[in-house]
Amino acid sequence: MKRRALLQSAAMAMATTAAARLAGGDEVSAEGAEPARRRLPLSPDLVWDKAPCRFCGTGCHVEVGVQKGKVVAVRGDLQAEVNKGLLCVKGYHVGLALYGKDRLTQPMLRKDGELVPISWDEAIDIVAQRAELDGFALYGSGQWTIPEGYAGNKLMKAGLGSNHIDPNARLCMASAVTGFLSVYGVDEPAGCYDDLDRCDVLILWGNNPAEMHPVLWSRVLERKVAGEDVKLIDIGTRETRSSGFCDHVLTMKPQGDLAIANGIARLLLERGTYDKAFVDAHCAFRAHGDKPTLQGEAISFEQFKEGLAPYTPEHVEELSGVKPDDLRMLADLFGRRDLRITSLWCMGMNQHTQGTAINALVHGIHLLSGHFGRPGDAPTSLTGQASACGTVSEVGTLAHGLPGGLLVENAEHRKEAEAIWNVPPGRVNPKPGHHTVEMWKRFCTPKSQGGDIQTIWVMVTNPGQTMPNLNALVAPSRKLDGKFLIVSDVYPTATTKIADLVLPSAMWVEKNGMFGNSERRTQQWFKMVEPPGQARDDAWQLLAVARRLHDRGHPGMKDKDGKFLFDVAGPDGKSVPVWEWEHYYDVNVDERLFEEYRKFTRFKHKDLAPYAEYVKARGLRWPVIQHEDGVWRETKFRFVEGEDRYVKKDAGVQFYHSTSKDDRAQIWLHPYTAPPEVPDAEFPFWLCTGRVIEHWHTGTMTRRIPELWRSMPNAYVEVNAKDADRLGVKNGDRLALESRRGKLELPVWIDGRGAPPQGTLFVPFFDETMLVNVLTLEAYDPFSKQPDYKKCAVRAKKVVST
Amino acid sequence: MRTPDGRMLGVGVVALVAVGAAFVFVGARPTPADHARYGAVSAPSGVAYPIVSAPSYGSMRDVRRGPNASRYDATVEGLQSRGGPVFSRVPSLDNRAYEGAPPTVPHAVTQRTLDCAACHTTGLVVAGRVAPPMPHDPYPSCTQYHVPQKDPRPLPSDDSPPESSFVGLGKPAP
């Protein structure tokens, strides 16, 4: 196979490197082993400082080169464990994201249809007035920094007594969270990226890390190149760049993952190759009762086995299209104790109307086969956004959540939150707010017809491009009286273009910040350059609105002692007016917010270290525990004795947040169910949406980076060659796609970046000039409320130019 | 051996190219400092870059059918007339955003199966154009770091490239 040959050639070249160095081609350090790496700045006024990359959830660290107040260079951080000095093409160009010519630099208000400049003072006044009215919602982001998300959550829940706050991560990783909760009783992966260095088998479940998490993919490929025997298996609905490197490519029908996972479990039981000792000691079985709940109801092993009976390899083939031999191959691997198996997934399993179920099923086959807890044996979900875990899952910026994994519905949890916030009992509203799809649906519904959301303040995200079924969930609000859209962002976007009030934000190293990546790693950086014009930190915007509400007499903006909710004392003990921009950086507001937030993290064993520890580190993975010697140490593998300090002695493995309260994880029975919309005679194609390596999400930053834009300027529709023949289109022709919800024309790309099977089309969502979400379906998972962007039905017709 | 799309590849050829790397210095991941080391505009006097005898590219039928087919054809011609490629590093900031940035690629790139190592493991001079050797350890998934430039990009666009006020390290101020 070609990929083999390339890997081999790369390995041979690597092997010859040492010889080349000794032959005098390279500098050799005193030890003679590694070439001396000169890291000196090229120019005396060039200063380097660390930051996590602005883009994806991998959480690479970069070093940012600043000269004369501008970012001029970026390099991979050799001290960072995540990326070990390497970056992807987005990371290498992240510094350019600050310098698009059309940065937003002043607040703007829509007057007579036009956005016109106003002062920050007026802008803050307008936001505060809207926040005093009913139906005010905050729509946040997995790209909020941790302190920003914490400030937003506190403003809403401790200040306004409202739970109408939800983040874009609802569209991104909510099903991973509900999967973790239903299986372990607590969210986020037990394993970490170290598993990638140790696994013998890596299974990609609807995942394309060569484009979406490139540096993690490199970490695995490097092992292959070095001659290690790592088997890569791709299970997906189309061939991707990642497939090209895999030993097995299993193309499945959309939704087939449910059948595949059940088929593996059934074979493990039939052959007796499941890990009986692990299951007996650490697992219990669950299924939905008459009324489905996230926790489900206990079932017996026999009931579990009976429930799996239909999933013979032949039946699995009918449902998924995956050949019985391939299913047996997967079951063979899971049945072997001598191998270590890591599963990776991201949007393929999360953007799924059965997202909670498929997440639980993949955890389930790892538990059933005992492929859990040893380094390299891990079911691991990856996140798409830089701080989806840090700011959403951990800070709890969700309609039902409180910081630290606490819940608004739980009276004890509310009490704890009110104590930390020092607000009167009853301040936290026990009723969950509207989740994302519901929030936008109600924003698009007249007040008289139950549309109880009148204002949405959008921060660090672009729902005008990312919401599913845009024609139903965003557009109608723009024609309704009384609906007011506020957007804080750094560039004009599909959302700022339809906003009533636009607030210019500082981004990335123009402000202090903290992110939390996919492997529980909390990261910190300092402000390095000034934001352009009047652009200001999102955290400042939140604090300024809180203070304005306080000054206007809003009772929620004071704590029990009558102090401002976000009071920040300076070194002299006196309050610093951080709501005034000129004083915002008199103290490190990030540190103050983080230290307060940190108190929440002990409840669910997600302990974070003091801020100062993160300044020193390239991130630390929680729980971070202070050991007897005073050193704060991170945790690589949770629930495992010797690694996780919360596991009791001699337990081996302990699921200490078990939903069954007996330290057991739940292996779920989730039957296959068909997707809500499948192709038919009228709409005969599957449509899948996704991403490309060049662009990060809606492209608002990466489409302003010339190098990335030139490589991938616009969206396209990937068409199978046979379908293209039938449709009479060739590369570059335009195809009109139509779903039951909308229409869109796109240029055709056959045998391009990916290769969909016959009957499937793929469109990336990065391009604001071709909004694919006018086509997508808003149907969502019943528990996570996450919509499915990966499968809906469309028809396609060649556009004939006249 | 057969690729997923059913094409054949001369595995031995690629391996031969790799063997040739024995005499080419392959450094670590690029850093600005490293890059400066590689980055002399012309070879410093007194440094003789090694010349490696060329593998036969006559059998590279597979790669020759890809988007770089014309270049590979020229390669064969070039090799036949010259007897072997001369290695040269072409340091240039023209195709980098700043000192130390990964260069963009001035030719078309296959989208899924990557052939970069065939020419860039040791480097080639082809009909007056240079395929520079990788100045770093080889990574198999090259397009994770390097993207094509404007002309060879796969999709045309009616839009103009974005305007940027970024001034990269080592680049002249506008």
How far does B12 lie from chain A, in Å, by closest CA?
Answer: 8
* Cis omega (within 30 of 0) for bond into B172: no
Q: Which of A4, A8, A14, A16 to mutate to test the interface with B (most CBs of B within 10 A)?
A: A16
Give the span between the Cα atoms of A633 and B125, in whole angstroms. Answer: 52
How far does B39 lie from chain A, in Å, by closest CA?
Answer: 13
Residue A28 lies in a domain: yes
Same domain, A212 and A160: no
Same domain, A191 and A229: yes
Same domain, A227 and A145: no
Of residues B17, B50, B97, nearest to A93 (C-beta): B97
Whether A12 has its CB under 8 Å from any CB of chain B: the answer is yes
* Closest C-alpha among A376, A391, A368, A401 to residue A186: A401
- Domain CATH for A779: 2.40.40.20
How far does A36 lie from chain B, in Å, by closest CA?
Answer: 10
**Claim: this prediction has a pTM higher than 0.90:** no
How far does A19 lie from chain B, in Å, by closest CA?
Answer: 7
Residue A180 lies in a domain: no
Give the span between the Cα atoms of A158 and A412, in whole angstroms. Answer: 15
- B117 phi and psi angles, rounded to 5 deg: -65, -25
Half-sphere exposure of A695 (CA within 13 A, CB side): 21
Query: In this predicted structure, what is the pLDDT of residue B68?
Result: 55
Give the span between the Cα atoms of A664 and A468, in whole angstroms. Answer: 37
Residue A673 lies in a domain: no
Contacts of B11 in chain A (CB under 8 A): 4-5, 8
Residue A273 lies in a domain: yes
What are the structure tokens assigned to A97, written together?
Answer: 């994201």
Query: In this predicted structure, what is the pLDDT of residue B106?
Result: 87
Q: How far is CA A297 from CA A292, A303, A304, A661, A666, in A?
A: 9, 12, 12, 13, 10
Q: Which of B166, B167, B171 to mutate to test the interface with A (most CBs of A within 10 A)?
A: B166
Instruction: Give A513's DSSP letter.
Output: E
Helices A355-368 & A324-334, crossing angle to 10 degrees? 50
Query: In this predicted structure, what is the pLDDT of residue B42?
Result: 28
Listed residues A346, A380, A414: the one ending a domain: A380
Q: How far is CA B152 from CA A573, B106, B128, in A?
A: 62, 7, 19
For residues A288 and A297, the answer to whether their CB atoms sit within 8 Å is yes
How far does A41 lie from chain B, in Å, by closest CA?
Answer: 7
B22 and A19 within 8 Å at the Cβ level: the answer is yes
Query: In this predicted structure, what is the pLDDT of residue A626?
Result: 97
Give the span between the Cα atoms of A324 and A318, in whole angstroms. Answer: 10
Same domain, A402 and A375: no
Same domain, A207 and A233: yes
Residue A458 lies in a domain: yes
* Closest C-alpha among A6, A340, A374, A338 to residue A203: A340
> What's the average pLDDT block by block, 10 residues per block, for chain A (802 residues)?
45 39 32 36 79 98 96 93 94 98 98 97 98 98 98 98 98 97 97 97 97 95 89 97 95 98 98 98 98 97 98 98 98 98 98 98 98 97 96 97 97 98 98 98 98 98 98 97 98 98 98 98 97 98 98 98 96 95 97 98 97 96 97 97 96 97 98 98 98 97 96 96 97 96 96 94 97 97 98 97 74
Count of domains in chain A?
4
A243 and B4 within 8 Å at the Cβ level: the answer is yes
- Domain CATH for A138: 3.40.50.740
Same domain, A756 and A713: yes
Domain that holds residue A564: 108-172+388-506+532-584
Residues of A with active-site annotation: 90, 172-173, 347, 384-385
Same domain, A409 and A461: yes
A661: number of Cβ within 10 Å:
8
Of residues B138, B156, B165, nearest to A99 (C-beta): B165
Q: In what helix (H) or strand (E) does residue A153 lie, and over which residues does it extend?
A: helix A146-154
Give the span between the Cα atoms of A647 and A627, in whole angstroms. Answer: 15
Same domain, A430 and A544: yes
Give the span between the Cα atoms of A149 and A397, in whole angstroms. Answer: 6
Give SS3 for A523: strand
Contacts of B159 in chain A (CB under 8 A): 713-714, 769
How far does A32 lie from chain B, in Å, by closest CA?
Answer: 14
Contacts of B99 in chain A (CB under 8 A): 42, 73
| Paired residues of A201 in beta bridges | A231, A341
What are the structure tokens assigned to A405, written together?
Answer: 């994994």
What are the structure tokens assigned to A434, written together?
Answer: 């509207």
Same domain, A402 and A369: no
What confidence tens digit (pLDDT) does each residue in A357-385 have?
999 999 999 999 999 999 999 999 999 99
* Angle formed at CA A121 by CA A118 and CA A125, multiple of 5 degrees: 100
Which value, to the nearest 10 degrees, does the dihedral of the CA atoms of residues A237, A239, A241, A244 take? Answer: 130
Query: In this predicted structure, what is the pLDDT of residue B85?
Result: 40
Instruction: Please name the residue of chain A whose CA is at the shortest distance from the CA of residue B148.
Output: A711
Q: In what helix (H) or strand (E) does residue A668 lie, and over which residues does it extend?
A: strand A665-668
Residue A360 lies in a domain: yes
Whether B108 has its CB under 8 Å from any CB of chain A: the answer is no
Same domain, A364 and A408: no
Give the span between the Cα atoms of A608 and A563, in whole angstroms. Answer: 26
Instruction: Please name the residue of chain B whose CA is at the shortest distance from the CA of residue A704.
Output: B162
The ipTM of this complex is: 0.89
Give the span between the Cα atoms of A633 and A621, in whole angstroms. Answer: 9
Instruction: Please name the residue of chain B whose CA is at the shortest distance from the CA of residue A749.
Output: B155
Give the span between the Cα atoms of B166 and A766, in whole angstroms. Answer: 22
Contacts of B156 in chain A (CB under 8 A): 713, 732, 747
Listed residues A380, A402, A420: the one ending a domain: A380
Whether B73 has its CB under 8 Å from any CB of chain A: the answer is no
- Domain CATH for A251: 3.40.228.10
Residue A548 lies in a domain: yes
Contacts of A93 in chain B (CB under 8 A): 97, 101
* Angle formed at CA A275 by CA A273 and CA A279, multiple of 5 degrees: 140
Query: In this predicted structure, what is the pLDDT of residue B128?
Result: 66
For residues A304 and A669, the answer to whether their CB atoms sit within 8 Å is yes
Give the span between the Cα atoms of A218 and A212, in whole angstroms. Answer: 12
Whether B23 has its CB under 8 Å from any CB of chain A: the answer is yes
Whether B147 has its CB under 8 Å from any CB of chain A: the answer is yes
Q: What stretches in chain B show pLDDT beneath 50?
A: 1-65, 75-76, 78-90
Give the span between the Cα atoms of A165 and A401, in whole angstroms. Answer: 9
Which residues fall within 8 angstroms of residue A38, CB to CB, at 6 or more apart? Answer: B31, B33, B34, B36, B37
A710 and B113 within 8 Å at the Cβ level: the answer is no
B169 and A42 within 8 Å at the Cβ level: the answer is yes
Residue A741 lies in a domain: yes
Same domain, A266 and A372: yes
B153 and A92 within 8 Å at the Cβ level: the answer is no
Same domain, A127 and A26: no
Give the span between the Cα atoms of A347 and A207, in whole angstroms. Answer: 7
Could you please report the per-residue DSSP string of A54-93? SSSTT--EEEEEEETTEEEEEEE-TT-TTTTT---HHHHT
